[in-house]
Chain A
Amino acid sequence: RKEVEQDPGPFNVPEGATVAFNCTYSNSASQSFFWYRQDCRKEPKLLMSVYSSGNEDGRFTAQLNRASQYISLLIRDSKLSDSATYLCVVITDSWGKLQFGAGTQVVVTP
């Protein structure tokens, strides 16, 4: 079983709509959680950290459920520029190495 699992998608979303997807992690000792965004043939870039109380950054909302060991990302009022692969990332050890899910592809259509 992979440490971090995501639905690969693609999620096809009309412009302006809302899309949400989850990620599950297997290690209950996981300490820190992030969503990264990766555009085609580009490096990953931090979208947002995920905090226990949930957090929002503009149109993006992240939630963490430690009891069920999942993280979610919700994108409101989707823009064409939101089309990308969204990577769920977990830190489990003290060295800070990132453990990545395989990514969820989001395609926003006009």
Chain B
Amino acid sequence: AQSVSQHNHHVILSEAASLELGCNYSYGGTVNLFWYVQYPGQHLQLLLKYFSGDPLVKGIKGFEAEFIKSKFSFNLRKPSVQWSDTAEYFCAVNAQAAGNKLTFGGGTRVLVKP
């Protein structure tokens, strides 16, 4: 069964600091990868996604993620965070052999201090 691990449960940063959130998945076949974000009081929304091609994916609000197949990883990065990036971030994986099932990681709560 596919599984997704997010290494950090809570991250606290100051504004302008760089952010990197780890995500590892267990499935060895072809995968589709996602990062979703939930801002306080808002719904889950898509930040970025990777299906194929360039392993460096750019998303909204200056976020990017790099797919490293050999490490089964899809880490999320932002060079300089803002207070408005305070949110919970979820990595999600769809293994193509698993059909329509989307598996989420446990989430990482990020607090950006002004």
Q: Do A and B come from one complex?
A: no
